[in-house]
Amino acid sequence: YFGTSILTGSDSFQEVVVKIERPTYNKPFLGGFRNISTGVEFHNAGSQTKPKKRPDKGIQLFSKETQTVVEKSKQQQTRNTTSTQMTKIGLYVSNMTDKLITPGKYFTAEEYHKRRLEAVIVIQKYCRRWHAINLVQNLKEEKRLRLAWEAQEELQKKREKEEKLRREYEKKLKPKTKEDFELLYHDLELWMQEETERVNRTLTGAERKAALCALLEEETQLIACIGMHRLDANVENQQKAILHLLGKCAQPRRWKAFDGKITEMDTQNSLRGKELLEIYRSINTKDIPKDERTSVLLTLKWTVKEHECKLTQEIMTLIDREIDLMSREVKECNLEGLRKRICTLFLQYIKIPEFNPEVAGLLKVPQDPLKLYKKVYFCHSCKKYLASTEFPIPANSRTIGRCHSCYRLDNEARQREAYWKYRLILENLRKSEVDYQHDSKIVFLVQLPDLKYLIENIWNCQSALSACSDLYDLVMVRWDKQREWSPWNTILLTKEEADAHLKLCNLQKTYEAPFIYRIEQKHIRAKNYFAQIPVMSSYLHRSNNQANANSYK
């Protein structure tokens, strides 16, 4: 800024403050002159200053020159000078190459346009025929692909069903897990009911009593046979559980890097667990030569010799005894008990955190006795103190009842119900809720007895749309996919119906009013059943508020 004086009158001056804006860039030279000696450039004000903008009158104006078209009509004829030489006296012109032109039939403009229209109609006819042929071929191809896809899907469903039946048959033929024995006892109960009904229907009097006694004797033999299979399965499962525990102790540390690659690192404790796992597998191996067995026993002896205690001394004593007996050519069958004792004691050695630090976080019984008082409850049926995870908590229960083992034993002795199909439905439901990533909680509070009641008593073990009663094909999904799953926001459908249902945006426009009314009635029954537990009732009130808000929107 700088000040300057301006003459406003004959003898009066006024001080004016002038603001100078220095541009951050060099202005281009658009006109003026340049001092050759000093190099100073002088710009013309007209070429460097923006013209003053005219005030806007609010009326759009157009000039005559830009809005008026000047037309001019002028006839022109191109010049085409030609000459024709004809035969005359003194000149002969050959006519061998001449052509005789005969005028054709004259047709008017209307006839010309009519012929053009007929040609256009013919072209359109053939073009439409070509489009129709292509459309029919596309429809045939789509139909062929659709039929092939339906046949493939039908074949896939048939194979899946056969595979499920085959797996279920194998589970019954070679039972290994608790679910397998549930299926066996369930089939046994169905067989007993059929046989009892047949005896009551066909026999009377003493013959009926004798047949029922024979049937009871046969049931007793079958139960004993199932018990023998269970003992064998327990031995095999126990060995698998031991190897699984030792495998966890030998696993290296793993973490995912920023690029998605998995990095593994062996620690001192994981290497120790891997060493003990290899030794345990070696001493459990049967039918190996004596020199290899002796080498394994010596390796075990040097491993446990690192820690001096009563357990390690007993293991070393048994190892020396087995080596001595093998040197005396004792039969293998007579050494089975001694080898089993060595395996059992070595397993006890592995489960001690002082000798195997990795096992500390995997033991069910904590090393600190004070931790046993937390989340431990008393089962009034088997008279045992068990962890809270060993107790099922149905929705209608208010106290800690019997443990899982007592429930299973009571089921095998009385009702003999199979929960395997319901367990599959619950697992699929929980997986689908995890995929939503909505932090669903109610689905993890629902237990198998609750889901069984929900499917059997409320949904009648059939699809709400097609009335399909095959539990292998049924799934439970959300009724309103925008809200969290709950027993009062669910529907039982087949897998194909569930996929189509989850694609719907407006249920009121898709389904009819009577169908929606039936579904709402089932939801009300589910609310009345699950409202008995306080935690579930709190979720019930919250879902009601959410539903009211959605309906208001």
Same domain, 353 and 276: yes
Residue 192 CB: number of other CB atoms within 10 A?
16
Same domain, 446 and 352: no
Domain tally for the chain? 2
Per the CB < 8 A criterion, the answer to whether 395 and 529 are in contact is yes
Same domain, 523 and 454: yes
> For residue 472, is it within any domain?
yes
Give the tokens for residue 481: 């996919």
Q: Is 172 exposed, middle or buried (0-12, 13-18, 19+ CB in 10 A)?
A: middle
Last residue of a domain, one of 336, 371, 406: 371
> For residue 139, is it within any domain?
no
Same domain, 437 and 548: yes
For residue 19, the model assigns a pLDDT of: 73
Q: What is the dihedral of CA 438, 508, 502, 487, to 10 degrees?
A: 50
> For residue 39, is it within any domain?
no
> For residue 496, is it within any domain?
yes
Q: How far apart are CA 335 and CA 445, in angstroms?
A: 51
> For residue 454, is it within any domain?
yes
Residue 542 amino acid letter: R
Residue 371 CB: number of other CB atoms within 10 A?
11
In three-state secondary structure terms, 26 is: coil
For residue 542, the model assigns a pLDDT of: 62
Q: How far apart are CA 502 and CA 217, in angstroms?
A: 52
Provide the residue range defining the domain that includes 341.
263-371
For residue 131, the model assigns a pLDDT of: 96
Same domain, 450 and 530: yes
Last residue of a domain, one of 321, 348, 371: 371
Q: Is 443 exposed, middle or buried (0-12, 13-18, 19+ CB in 10 A)?
A: buried
Same domain, 506 and 438: yes
For residue 74, the model assigns a pLDDT of: 79
For residue 538, the model assigns a pLDDT of: 67
Same domain, 366 and 452: no
Residue 217 amino acid letter: E
Give CA separation, 106 vs 348, 475, 530, in Å. 119, 82, 96
> For residue 487, is it within any domain?
yes
For residue 13, the model assigns a pLDDT of: 76
Tell me which residues of the chain have a pLDDT lower than 70: 1-4, 9-10, 22-25, 46-51, 64-68, 78, 80, 365-373, 393-398, 533-553
Same domain, 364 and 444: no
Per the CB < 8 A criterion, the answer to whether 273 and 359 are in contact is yes
Residue 504 amino acid letter: L
Maximum C-alpha span of the chain = 153
Q: What is the pLDDT of residues 315-334, one digit of tens each?
A: 999 999 998 998 888 888 88
Same domain, 355 and 441: no
Q: Which of 416, 473, 425 is nearest to 448 (CA)?
A: 425
> For residue 520, is it within any domain?
yes
Per the CB < 8 A criterion, the answer to whether 314 and 328 are in contact is no
For residue 152, the model assigns a pLDDT of: 94
Q: What is the pLDDT of residues 492-546, one digit of tens each?
A: 998 889 988 988 888 888 899 999 999 999 998 888 888 776 666 666 666 655 5
Same domain, 359 and 453: no
For the chain, the distance separating the N- and C-terminal CA atoms, rounded to the nearest angstrom, is 62
> For residue 509, is it within any domain?
yes
